[in-house]
Structure 1
Amino acid sequence: MPWLHPGRVAALQSALAQRILVIDGAMGTMIQRHELQEADYRGERFAQGYDALFAPEASHTHGPGCGCQAHDQRGNNDLLTLTRPDLIRGIHDAYLAAGADLVETNTFNSTAISLADYHLTHLVRELNREGAKLARAACDAAGARTPDKPHFVIGVLGPTSRTASLSPDVNRPGFRATSFDQLADAYREAAGGLIEGGADVLMVETVFDTLNAKAALFAIDDAFAAAGGRLPVMISGTITDASGRTLSGQTAEAFWYSLRHARPLSIGLNCALGARDLRPHIDVLARIADVAVSTHPNAGLPNAFGGYDETPEDMAGVLHVFAAAGLLNLVGGCCGTTPAHIAAIAEAVRGLPPRALPQLEAAA
């Protein structure tokens, strides 16, 4: 199957062969700085009351007793793509100005499973399409200023709010709140929107359950078939605690071997831990994976108030050691990171060679 954007894919592969590429930082952290209220999330489009949020073809009546009428949207960051595109575009622009080569779409929760919590499943395709368009416009504008340095859009597919491998009910260990087919359906719709909106890469990220990731990869293949071409795919898992395992119980090594059949552009780890705590797990991936290795860790561990205290300088210093040891091809930030963190990380890895890959050496 051909590449959907062969020129951009070739540019990305060339850039990976030459240097360590920088991914942007946290979207949620930047949104939280604006201290938005319910009206901000609703914007003009959804300001006329709760009914405006629902599909016009909804089969039931939203009367006074309907629970969804009273459902708040505050905290639904993905909705801001439609109601505050200026804010989301501004965040993309800030990360690009800080030195990011790749920016992630504001679509972490834009699947039918996660959006069901907000009663917005009918917006899935639109949120993904428009999220990709916003990031695409930001990258194109940055590329026009620096034609020798292309910028790329990562279409983000988050883990969803449900797990296929574990029961949410301790009294019913065999119960599952979702199924492989339901997850695949959700991911297929989201991936189609990201492709339509102009993403350069799709990333299945913050994977805590490998079965969820397998459903995503299965659905992505379907979406590629429908589009008549492929995009590169990145996979990034999350080691949830000091056990060194994902929530579904896999080590970094097992995680890679469970998903290598998808032949991703990269495998990596993000979220949950800071860079220091991720080091041994990135060491493992760098040793065994025959694709690019990425990491975008948190700015340390959360403090007692749920915030992140690791400074840009401290985080960049740790990741410089990763890069100098030849462990990285792509690096960025997750929770708690800001454009200041990304600027410091970009400077810390500047001039250091990317982790050597046989296929990249041949391409170079």
Structure 2
Amino acid sequence: MRCLHDALDSRVLLTDGSLARRLRQQDLDVDRDLWGAEDCLELLNLTCAGLVRDLHEAYLRAGADVLRTHTLDASPLSLDAIGLADHAFYLNHAAAQIASEAVDAVPGRGRRRFVLGLVRDQGWDTTPKEIERAVSLQVEGLLSGGVDGIVLDITPGVGRAPMFLNGAARARATVGARAPIFLQGGVDGTAFSDHARALADGVIFYRPGAPSRGRWLRRAIDEEGISLLGGGDTPEDTAELDRLLRLEAEDSLRPLNAALRARLGTVEESEPPSSLIRPDPLLAELS
């Protein structure tokens, strides 16, 4: 298994960009490709796997380190609203397989790439037991499809994290996997409880990326403490963010994150560890 936990623990990594926006630009047949459910683009993991994989690969070629599975609305609780809850496991499994195959297909040129299985809290109004059961089924599908880790996108401070974490942990035990389970925190200062943090394998501090000039990226790294940067909307955005990250990096590839800097002391006084994403000679030439 690729060492996603170690990579996020030390570097600021770059994700892919928006799949949903790109998919909506495609010439889709609602009845054939979306089974009549116009707003459920996650069904394309089953009906248009090649299209989803092509978009994943485009972001990898642009420089993304991390692919997030196309599973924002792939919970059985969300799918139940359109009568497709029974397809939840297969949909998540397929999404994980597609992203994993894309990572294996696009040469990393010495860099390690990762797949994060994405589970988002959509605010379902149901019992904690039902939420835990739904999360467990979704995570089972993602893990069996080959993701390197699970990220639970939950608003901190609302008390829902433990049921998500318990469901994910149950799925991991059922599948017999070792992939880490992360909480995703924003950079607005809202924190998860100590109990929730103890149940998770770590917290990913995520910030959407914007391919604009200025010192926002250095502030995001040093002051906001991000560990994962969103890849923008298009592969072109991702390519520009890849370039900006490399300009901020000690090894011309990816900068150390604030947590590691704090453990090391000042970068000037400490020897940075070897990059878990080995420098890409081709990218170095382009810097």
Bin of the TM-score, shorter chain as denominator length:
0.7 to 0.9
Q: Deviations over 1:292-350 (max 9, x none)?
A: xx2132x7xxxxxxxxxxx6325x852343125572322114xx722222222221121
| Structure 1 residue 161, shift from structure 2 partner | 4.7
Q: Deviations over 1:74-96 (max 9, x none)?
A: 12111010111111111111111
Q: 1:353 aligns with which of 256, 260, 265?
A: 256
| 1:212 matched to 2:150 | no
| Structure 1 residue 147, shift from structure 2 partner | 4.8
| 1:252 matched to 2:200 | no
Give the secondary structure class of the aligned counterpart of 2:170: helix
Distance 1:360 1:40, change over 3 A: farther
| Structure 1 residue 20, shift from structure 2 partner | 1.9
Distance 1:264 1:13, change over 3 A: closer
Distance 1:13 1:203, change over 3 A: closer
More displaced stretch, 207-216 vs 100-109: 207-216
Q: 1:188 aligns with which of 132, 136, 148?
A: 136
Aligned partner of 1:252: which letter?
Answer: T
Q: Distance in 2 between matches of 1:360 and 1:27?
A: 35
CA RMSD of aligned residues (A): 2.9
| Structure 1 residue 127, shift from structure 2 partner | 0.4
| Structure 1 residue 353, shift from structure 2 partner | 2.6
Q: Distance in 2 between matches of 1:341 and 1:258?
A: 37
Q: Distance in 2 between matches of 1:325 and 1:161?
A: 30
| Structure 1 residue 135, shift from structure 2 partner | 0.2
Q: Distance in 1 between matches of 2:42 and 2:190?
A: 29
What is the number of residues matched between the two proteins? 260
| Structure 1 residue 196, shift from structure 2 partner | 0.4
Aligned partner of 2:56: which letter?
Answer: H
Match in the other structure for 2:178: 230
Q: Distance in 2 between matches of 1:325 and 1:358?
A: 12
Match in the other structure for 2:30: 38
Larger CA Rg, structure 1 vs 2: 1
Q: Deviations over 1:35-86 (max 9, x none)?
A: 53413524xxx5xxxxxxxxxxxxxxxxxxxxxxxxx311211101011111
What are the equivalent positions in structure 2 for 1:1-364 lying under 5 Å apart? 5=1, 8-9=2-3, 12-16=4-8, 19-34=11-26, 36-42=28-34, 72-142=36-106, 145-162=107-124, 177-207=125-155, 210-237=158-185, 252-253=190-191, 255=192, 257=194, 259-267=196-204, 294-297=205-208, 312-313=211-212, 318-323=216-221, 325=223, 327-333=225-231, 337-350=233-246, 351=249, 352-357=255-260, 364=273
Distance 1:227 1:220, change over 3 A: same
Match in the other structure for 1:69: none
Give the secondary structure class of the aligned counterpart of 1:110: coil
| Structure 1 residue 211, shift from structure 2 partner | 3.4
Q: Distance in 2 between matches of 1:90 and 1:317?
A: 33
Give the secondary structure class of the aligned counterpart of 2:258: coil
Distance 1:363 1:127, change over 3 A: farther
Q: Deviations over 1:125-181 (max 9, x none)?
A: 100111000000001112xx225211111011111351xxxxxxxxxxxxxx30100
Give the secondary structure class of the aligned counterpart of 1:207: coil
Identity across matched positions, percent: 27
Give the secondary structure class of the aligned counterpart of 2:160: helix
| Structure 1 residue 258, shift from structure 2 partner | 5.2
CA contact (8 A) 2:157 2:193 kept: no
Q: TM-score, normalised by structure 1?
A: 0.64
Q: Distance in 1 between matches of 2:171 and 2:202?
A: 17
CA contact (8 A) 2:10 2:256 kept: yes
Distance 1:159 1:196, change over 3 A: same
| Structure 1 residue 225, shift from structure 2 partner | 1.4
Higher relative contact order (CA 8 A, sep 6+): 2
CA contact (8 A) 1:128 1:193 kept: yes
Q: Distance in 2 between matches of 1:312 and 1:40?
A: 36
| Structure 1 residue 266, shift from structure 2 partner | 2.5
| Structure 1 residue 205, shift from structure 2 partner | 1.3
Give the secondary structure class of the aligned counterpart of 2:74: coil
